[in-house]
Amino acid sequence: MSPYTPLKEIELMQKVSEFDSKALEELYNRYSALLFALIKKVIKDENTAEEVLTDVFVIIWKKIDYFDFNTNNVYTWLVTLARNKAIDTLRRMSSTELSEYNEEYENEFIIPHLSLDIEPLDFVTALSIKDDIEKALNDLTDAQQYVIYLAYYEGLTQQEIASKLNIPLPTIKSKIIIALNNLWQNLNEGNLPPIKHEFSDYIIQYSLGSLDREDLLKFKKYRETTPEFAWKELGEYQNLISLLPAIVNFEVPPAHIKNKIARKLYRMREEVKAIRSGEIKNLKPVQIGHSESDSTLIERINAFDEKDDATFQKSAQGEYESNEDSELPVSTWSSQGGKKTSFETVNVDEDSQKSELAEENKPEGKESIQSGIIDFEAVRPLSKESFSYDGESGDDGEERNYLERRVYVKEKGYAGLITIILMLIFIVIGVIAYLLYTEKADAYEAEINRLNQQVDDIISENQEKVELTGITTLNNAQTINLNATDIDSNNSGKIIYSLINKRGYLYLSYLPTLEENRAYQLWGNISGDFISLLVFRPSKNAEYYPFTLPDISTSDIEFIVVESSSSGFTRPGKKIYLQSIQE
Mean pLDDT of 173-178: 91
CA distances from 119 to 60, 102, 231, 267 (A): 21, 31, 11, 37
Distance CA 197, CA 204 (A): 11
Q: With 70 as the cut, is the pLDDT of residue 88 above it?
A: yes
Buried b (16+ CB within 10 A) or exposed e, 58-94: bbbbbbbebbbeebebbbbbbbbbbbbbbbbbbeeee
Give tens-digit pLDDT for 301-312: 334 334 444 443
Q: With 70 as the cut, is the pLDDT of residue 97 above it?
A: yes
**Confidence tier at 35 by pLDDT (50, 70, 90):** very high
Q: With 70 as the cut, is the pLDDT of residue 316 above it?
A: no
Distance CA 177, CA 157 (A): 13
Distance CA 6, CA 284 (A): 32
Q: Which of 499, 498, 554 is nearest to 525 (CA)?
A: 554
Q: With 60 as the cut, is the pLDDT of residue 162 above it?
A: yes
Chain centroid offset of residue 61 CA: 34
Chain centroid offset of residue 495 CA: 25
Distance CA 221, CA 312 (A): 10
Residue 373: what pLDDT?
A: 30
Residue 197: what pLDDT?
A: 66
Distance CA 580, CA 560 (A): 6
Containing 292, the helix (H) or strand (E) segment is none
Helices (H) and strands (E) in the chain, counts: 20, 10
Cβ atoms of 9 and 75 closer than 8 Å: yes
Distance CA 53, CA 261 (A): 9
Q: Which residues pair with 484 in a beta bridge?
A: 578
Mean pLDDT of 510-521: 81
Mean pLDDT of 248-276: 86
Q: With 70 as the cut, is the pLDDT of residue 181 above it?
A: yes
Residue 324: what pLDDT?
A: 38
Q: HSE (CB half, 13 Å, CA atoms) of 123?
A: 17
Residue 210: what pLDDT?
A: 92
Give tens-digit pLDDT for 205-237: 999 999 988 888 888 888 888 888 889 999 999
Residue 475: what pLDDT?
A: 85
Cβ atoms of 550 and 502 closer than 8 Å: yes
Higher local confidence (pLDDT), 571 or 338:
571
Q: In this structure, what are the phi and psi dihedrals at residue 335, rounded to the nearest 5 degrees?
A: -85, 110
**Confidence tier at 488 by pLDDT (50, 70, 90):** confident
Cβ atoms of 145 and 320 closer than 8 Å: no
Q: Which of 272, 331, 308 is nearest to 466 (CA)?
A: 331
**Confidence tier at 530 by pLDDT (50, 70, 90):** confident
Mean pLDDT of 136-161: 93
Distance CA 271, CA 267 (A): 9
Higher local confidence (pLDDT), 441 or 147:
147
**Confidence tier at 321 by pLDDT (50, 70, 90):** very low
Task: Count the Cβ atoms, other than its own, within 10 Å of residue 255.
Answer: 8
SS3 345: coil
Environment class of 171 (CB within 10 Å of its CB; exposed 0-12, middle 13-18, buried 19+) = buried
Give tens-digit pLDDT for 434-481: 888 887 788 878 878 887 776 666 556 555 555 566 777 888 888 888
Q: With 70 as the cut, is the pLDDT of residue 525 above it?
A: yes
Q: In this structure, what are the phi and psi dihedrals at residue 42, rounded to the nearest 5 degrees?
A: -90, -45
> Which one-letter amino acid corresponds to residue 143?
A
Taking the CA atoms of 34, 156, 477 and 327 in sequence, report the sign of the dihedral they define. Answer: positive
Environment class of 492 (CB within 10 Å of its CB; exposed 0-12, middle 13-18, buried 19+) = middle
Rounded to the nearest integer, the mean pLDDT of the chain is 75
Residue 414: what pLDDT?
A: 66
Q: Which residues pair with 547 in a beta bridge?
A: 504
Cβ atoms of 42 and 90 closer than 8 Å: yes
Mean pLDDT of 57-74: 93
Distance CA 41, CA 79 (A): 13
Residue 200: what pLDDT?
A: 84
Nearest-5° Cα angle at 218, 216 to 220: 70
